[in-house]
Amino acid sequence: MNRPHNDTFLRALLRQPTDYTPVWLMRQAGRYLPEYCETRKRAGSFLQLCKSPALACEVTLQPLARYDLDAAILFSDILTVPDAMGLGLYFSEGEGPRFERPLREEWAIRDLAVPDPYDHLRYVMDAVAEIRRALGNSVPLIGFAGSPFTLACYMVEGGSSSEFRQVKTMIYDRPDLMHRILSVTAEAVTKYLNAQIESGAQAVMLFDSWGGCLSAAAYQEFSLSYMRRILAGLVRERDGQRVPSIVFTKGGGLWLESIAESGCDAVGIDWTVDIGEARQRVGQHVALQGNLDPNVLFASPEAIVRESKAILDAFGPNDTGHVFNLGHGISQFTPPEHVAVLVDAVHEYSRCQRQKNSACQLLA
């Protein structure tokens, strides 16, 4: 297989030695980039952008043209899966994602079926293949999906929510229905991620954006157990290369030990945990990805450099198994030039850490 020329990201996920700490940013292709807004306008809407492989490829590459990033992430959305399950996804201006047919009735939940990723989600597989061709041997491509619980939040609430009233009512009153939604969705996500791997994705990530809203017991039963099921069903190797997996539960800091034992290769952490302590807690099992507060990117270049060095120092110098990232997606209001400051600071400082070069001014 044609290995990526820069495979630092894959090596760090597998806890192999690297010359520096690799970095990419959640939502790195997005509205903070004027060229993204221009392409989205050309597409007509966000959803049409996702559904056009050529344009999805174009926006995936935009942040890589500007910054020295160590990975590309497929441009798509976690909600393509429930859309393919027939819920009717649409985005209304200022309101975020919505479903025409949220899951409220027992019959609709009983009728849920697993979509064929090569049929209903063909446009995603086409985008993955096209992006891989365009990337050539430069950097690895990350595929992704939402966790079953996070997808269920949108499917049951019908859109974004702050309290998750309907989802939690279902968890406590009708756990059988919630388990039905989660098991069909887990199977859909497993097939979807395996199809992305088959189409060329070289690592995969599960976004569990809302698992952190659950009680400790409910997190295990309704979120982590289904992610574990997906991880157990993933294709682990393609063309002789391991395909690493990353699990990111936002707000999951209290449960890092059990997330680390879910069968993933790396755990994503938000900014509420100290990455050095997280590393102690997960031991040698997994790599860590994170964890700069995305709001640091609003501050001065000096603050950005200081805060990113603090994370690299906390993880520990001269060590592997860290992929630098934000603790959540980049804000649309981020000044694009601040992203360059971050990426370059991570690269330069982590190289210095490895070399223990006393002449390196950055270490001072």
Q: Which is nearer to ligand CP3, 24 or 349 (CB)?
A: 24
Tokens standing for residue 224? 């982590």
- CB contact at 8 A, 103 and 110: no
Q: Are 88 and 47 in contact (CB under 8 A)?
A: no
Write down the least CB distance from residue 319 to ligand CP3, Å.
Answer: 26
SS3 call for 73: strand
In this structure, are residues 67 and 346 in contact, taking their beta carbons and an 8 Å threshold?
no
Q: Indicate if 173 belongs to the active site.
A: no
- Is there a catalytic annotation at residue 77? yes
Q: Per this entry, what is the length of the chain?
A: 364
Retrieve residue 87's tokens: 């819920």
Smallest distance, Å, CB 267 to ligand CP3?
15
Options 7, 20, 36, 77, the catalytic residue: 77
State the burial class of residue 240 (Cβ atoms within 10 Å of its Cβ: 0-12, 13-18, 19+): exposed
Choice between 160 and 169, CB closer to ligand CP3: 160
* Residue number, 82 or 115, with CB nearest to ligand CP3: 82
- Give the shortest CB-318-to-ligand CP3 separation in angstroms: 29
354 is catalytic: no
Q: Name which of 138 and 320 has its Cβ closer to ligand CP3.
A: 138
Query: Smallest gap, in angstroms, from Cβ of residue 31 to ligand CP3?
Result: 5
Q: Contact, 158 vs 219, CB < 8 A?
A: no
Catalytic-labelled residue, pool 32, 67, 154, 219? 154
Report residue 48 as tokens. Answer: 């049409």
Distance between CA atoms of residues 248 and 149, nearest Å: 12
List the catalytic residue out of 7, 11, 20, 27.
27
- Active site annotation includes 31: yes
Q: In terms of CB distance, is 271 or 349 closer to ligand CP3?
A: 271
CB of 341 to ligand CP3, least distance (A): 19
Q: Nearest CA to 223 among 291, 139, 151, 138?
A: 151
Q: Is position 27 annotated as part of the catalytic site?
A: yes
- Report the residue closest to ligand CP3, judged by CB: 209
Q: Please, how many CA atoms are within 13 Å of residue 297, restricted to the half-sphere of its CB? A: 26
Phi, psi (degrees; rounded to nearest 5) at 323: -110, 115
Angle between helical axes of 225-232 and 148-157 (0-180°, round to 10): 120
- Residues near ligand CP3 (CB under 6 A): 26-31, 40, 46, 73, 75, 77-79, 96-97, 144, 160, 207, 209, 329
- Residue 232 half-sphere exposure toward CB, CA atoms < 13 A: 10
Nearer to ligand CP3, 329 or 336 (CB): 329
- Burial environment of residue 131 by CB neighbours within 10 A (0 to 12, 13 to 18, 19 or more): buried
Give the nearest distance from C-beta 1 to ligand CP3 in angstroms.
24
Hey, which residues are catalytic here? 27, 31, 40, 77, 154
